[in-house]
Amino acid sequence: MSTPALGAAAVPPSAAPASPAPDDGAAPDESPVLRATGLTRHFPVRGRRAAVVHAVDGVDLEIHRGEVVALVGESGSGKSTVARLLAQLMPRTAGGLELHGRDATVRGRRAFRAYCRRVQMIFQDPFGSLNPVHTVRYTLSRSVRIHQGRLRGAELDAAIRRVLERVHLSPTDRYIDKFPHELSGGQRQRVAIARALAADPEVLLADEPISMLDVSIRLGILNLLQDLRDRLDIAILYITHDIASARYFADRTAVMYAGRVVESGDSESVTQDPKHPYTQLLIGSAPDPDDLAARARGARGEAPSLVDPPAGCRFNPRCPVAADVCRTETPALIEVAEGRRVACWGYSDRPDRPRVGDEGGTR
């Protein structure tokens, strides 16, 4: 079953661009590298024939060249599933995916390989994603040869050193013949990024790239990704629990809750002037930066079941200002300021709307 793309429904007809409006508040006139519309993924529940986990429901997302889009939300909100759907590591239940405006749905291994060349993924755990029995040289040579042709000898060596330099692992002699266990966590993540860069991608999907790293080296990895965005004009999707890092690192931020995008816009205003009660709670709960468990929990209260998600707004059981309409009807993402979209009845013109802001919010 698919849910309509919320962003598309949110734009008034007069202002509607040719394609559906993105949930992430992008300017409609710039053409995105990657665009997802109505992205939906339901997982079957073992032992319950008709039941499904509504992991991702009707998400629209655009990523442009040379920008970082953060996808923020607490554990289980569907962020990794979005990344995997964008990487086409799993099929979609519904929704479309376009690369430079063309349907990017892959059918078959060749098409998948060609797609991977352009859209690369970086995972959370650099130790798990690098084969422990292979040296950096071996890992990168495979990637370089897959994506840059059958290079050998000095040419291959030079190509490997080039990608190592791009991730600031230089002098390259110090790293090229090391095994993963001989490197620090940050260096391993740099090797994983180098492996992705060997494909010369247009899009990097970075799924919690710093969450398993020591706090002291996280900034270095974020700075590196920012540098790649600026120097190589790459589009980066940055997935994180941590809305504070989204403010620092991302141009735009989309906030996910229970499989849906509830708020989006430029990172500065989403984090400084959050509109959705969930984003307000997420920022208000501002956990201790070293308390990863608290960061993962995010705002107070428990996340809802995604097998039987709450009717109406999925946040309503935790929302301090929920009204009757919130418990029965799903709010569309509506534009509340330039480039700012919020899926909350509090911003509609309904007379029975909840009063967002009465609980310390912004309205």
Ligand X SMILES: Nc1ncnc2c1ncn2[C@@H]1O[C@H](COP(=O)(O)OP(=O)(O)OP(=O)(O)O)[C@@H](O)[C@H]1O
Cβ at position 322, least distance to ligand X in Å: 22
Number of residues that bind ligand X (CB under 6 A): 13
Cβ at position 40, least distance to ligand X in Å: 12
Cβ at position 80, least distance to ligand X in Å: 3
Examine residue 167 and tell whether it contacts ligand X (CB under 6 A).
no
Residues 19-48 that bind ligand X (CB under 6 A): 43
Cβ at position 189, least distance to ligand X in Å: 17
| Vertex 313 angle, CA 308 and 317, to 5° | 70
For residue 141 the two structure tokens come to 């040579």
Q: Which long-range contacts does 345-349 make (Cβ < 8 Å, 24+ apart)? A: 345/313, 346/277, 346/321, 347/275
Examine residue 81 and tell whether it contacts ligand X (CB under 6 A).
yes
Per-residue contact string for residues 284-323; x = within reach of ligand X by CB under 6 A: ----------------------x-----------------
Cβ at position 307, least distance to ligand X in Å: 9
Cβ at position 44, least distance to ligand X in Å: 7
Quickly count helices (H) and strands (E) in the chain. Answer: 13, 12
How many alpha carbons lie under 13 Å from residue 236 in its C-beta half-sphere? 32
What are the backbone angles phi and psi of residue 197, rounded to the nearest 5°? -70, -25
Which one among 31, 75, 223, 328 touches ligand X, defined by CB under 6 A? 75
Examine residue 79 and tell whether it contacts ligand X (CB under 6 A).
yes
Element (H, E) at 228: helix 215-232
Cβ at position 131, least distance to ligand X in Å: 23
Residue in the structure block whose two tokens are 């899009």: 203
Per-residue contact string for residues 195-214; x = within reach of ligand X by CB under 6 A: --------------------
Q: Look at residues 36, 53, 35 and name the one whose alpha carbon lies nearest to residue 44.
A: 53
Which residue number, 10 or 303, has a Cβ lying nearer to ligand X? 303
Interface stretch with ligand X, choices 11-19, 71-79, 171-179, 332-340 (CB under 6 A):
71-79
Interface stretch with ligand X, choices 77-85, 224-232, 314-322, 323-331 (CB under 6 A):
77-85
C-alpha distances (whole Å) from 74 to each of 4, 238, 317 are: 23, 14, 16
Which residue number, 38 or 73, has a Cβ lying nearer to ligand X? 73
Q: Which long-range contacts does 18-23 make (Cβ < 8 Å, 24+ apart)? A: 20/60, 21/60, 21/333, 21/335, 21/341, 22/60, 22/61, 22/62, 22/264, 23/59, 23/60, 23/61, 23/254, 23/261, 23/264, 23/333, 23/341
Which residue number, 18 or 293, has a Cβ lying nearer to ligand X? 293
Binding site for ligand X (CB under 6 A): 43, 53, 55, 73, 75-81, 241, 306
